[in-house]
Structure 1
Amino acid sequence: MVNSHNVTIKGTKDGLLLRLDDTCSFSTLLKDIKETFKTHAHMYDEKHVVHIHLHTGNRYLTEEQVSQIQDVIDPKRNLTIDSVDSNVILKEEAERIIKEKSITLIHNVVRSGQVINTSGDLLLIGDVNPGGMVMASGNVFILGRLKGIAHAGCLGDMSAVICASQMTPTQLRIGDLYRRSPDRDVVPTEAECAFIDDEDDLIIDKLTVLKKVRPNLNCFAEGGILHG
């Protein structure tokens, strides 16, 4: 491990971890980073790319500042910054995360020709009729009959799930995968869920398996009741 007043360098199996002081000025930090790498240049093999992860604590770095750090470390990029970890984010980013993690509650019947599109999770209390469609960037929970189209993870979240009290959809979509409703002689009488399994197949199964396949899911609909 290499230490200076404002810079700590630690070797890892993936490259170098650079911990940067978050109380000094950025100009002082740049100067210390430059001196640290200049002093210990003999420790790094210029023939191989070394990947660097920055940890900035309570300091937020702009893209320009990251670029400046890269230039003082090594403009030739034999030492290259791969990632930046910070305890702080921009207000806009925080608002986006909150929006994506939120649950939109709608109490309505989605009729033919209607489309509901939400950010985060969708909890629909009502049916989705044939020709109707519900979409969410997160999970889709339907306390009712799903006869139309449901699209969870519509922005690319392949871990999203679709749950319905009665699952007889025209089509199910999760991320960029889709499947039509399976042929059934009998309409299901218990709640079911749809998810992407380890083989990248879109599976429909009993809702009780959801705890096993998505253990980190905070809430889900089961038998018409929302559990936390």
Structure 2
Amino acid sequence: MGKALKSGVTIKGTKNGLHFLLDETRPFSTILNELKHKLEGSPNIWDGPETHVRIKLGNRQITREEETALRNLFSLRENLIIQSIEASNGKPYLLRNQGINVQAGTVRSGQVLDHRGDLLLLGDVNPGGTVRSTGSIFVLGALRGLGHAGGEGDESAIIAASNLRPTQLRIADVVSRPPDEWTKSEMSGMNFAYLVDGRIVVDKIHHLNRIRPEIEWKENRFRG
């Protein structure tokens, strides 16, 4: 008789909730099928109070579509609240080369532009306007309002703008220092903001490939 195959989904209880450990060596479709079976079966196991869930992918990174499928499965149990999705070694859990959404227009005061993934805005963000994304934000125009990138915890996300004069910047859970502390020399020309050592710093756009080499594809995508 053959040896029983080890489960691809391991669930561990902690004082802060549940950890779902997903086997990085199995096809992700197989993992999703097993997870669906666990969540749909034995309903009495999952009934109960609101429980925080941390999903651990190991060395695997997933696409936006795979993330959506994963979140949809957990929506079967309203009391299971996904607190985080994590890959090993602190790397982003999402594959970064999943395309970039392009939108055109002006985000005016009081308006909020929300997006899942990386966003390229062809226009301005006026004071009082907000642009938020789970990925990086690129503004070919003036960013004078609030920009929040990496909204679901992606600390590798950046915020770039032709004219970076925000009222506030946020990357993941980190909020920027007040803009009046940035000198004119720092902010002239096209710049980008990124997270390092728990704080947001600003640099010239031509340093992007050196600081964030993993997103070089974005620059190549828009070359003629």
Please give the TM-score of this superposition, normalised by the length of structure 1.
0.58
Q: Deviations over 1:12-64 (max 9, x none)?
A: xxxxxxxxxxxxxxxxxxx51249xxxxxxxxxxxxxxxxx673469824148
Give the greater-gyration-radius structure (CA): 1
The one of 4, 20, 30 equivalent to 1:60 is 30
* Contact 1:132 1:148 (8 Å CA) reproduced: yes
Matches of 2:209 and 2:24 in 1, distance apart? 36
Q: CA RMSD in A?
A: 4.0
- 1:99–1:211 Cα change, 3 Å: closer
Correspondence for 1:196: 195
Q: Does 1:93 align with 2:66?
A: yes
Matches of 1:59 and 1:131 in 2, distance apart? 43
Correspondence for 1:168: 165
* Contact 1:100 1:121 (8 Å CA) reproduced: no
Give, in angstroms, the shift of residue 181 of structure 1. Answer: 1.6
Correspondence for 2:209: 211
Q: Does 1:112 align with 2:83?
A: no
- 1:175–1:63 Cα change, 3 Å: same
Number of residue pairs matched by the alignment:
162
- 1:137–1:100 Cα change, 3 Å: farther
Q: What SS is found at the alignment partner of 1:216? A: helix
- 1:163–1:220 Cα change, 3 Å: farther
Matches of 2:28 and 2:160 in 1, distance apart? 40
Matches of 1:201 and 1:84 in 2, distance apart? 26
- 1:136–1:84 Cα change, 3 Å: closer
Q: Which amino acid aligns with 2:192?
A: C
Matches of 1:164 and 1:125 in 2, distance apart? 10
Percent of aligned positions that are identical: 34
* Contact 1:100 1:120 (8 Å CA) reproduced: no
Please give the TM-score of this superposition, normalised by the length of structure 2.
0.59
Give, in angstroms, the shift of residue 186 of structure 1. Answer: 3.8
Correspondence for 1:32: 2
* Contact 1:56 1:85 (8 Å CA) reproduced: no
Q: List gaps (5 residues or longer) in structure 2.
A: 6-22, 39-55, 70-93
Give, in angstroms, the shift of residue 103 of structure 1. Answer: 1.8
Give, in angstroms, the shift of residue 93 of structure 1. Answer: 2.2
- 1:177–1:227 Cα change, 3 Å: farther
Q: Which amino acid aligns with 1:123?
A: L
* Contact 1:109 1:126 (8 Å CA) reproduced: yes
Q: Deviations over 1:179-203 (max 9, x none)?
A: 1324356484310000012x22211
- 1:168–1:93 Cα change, 3 Å: same
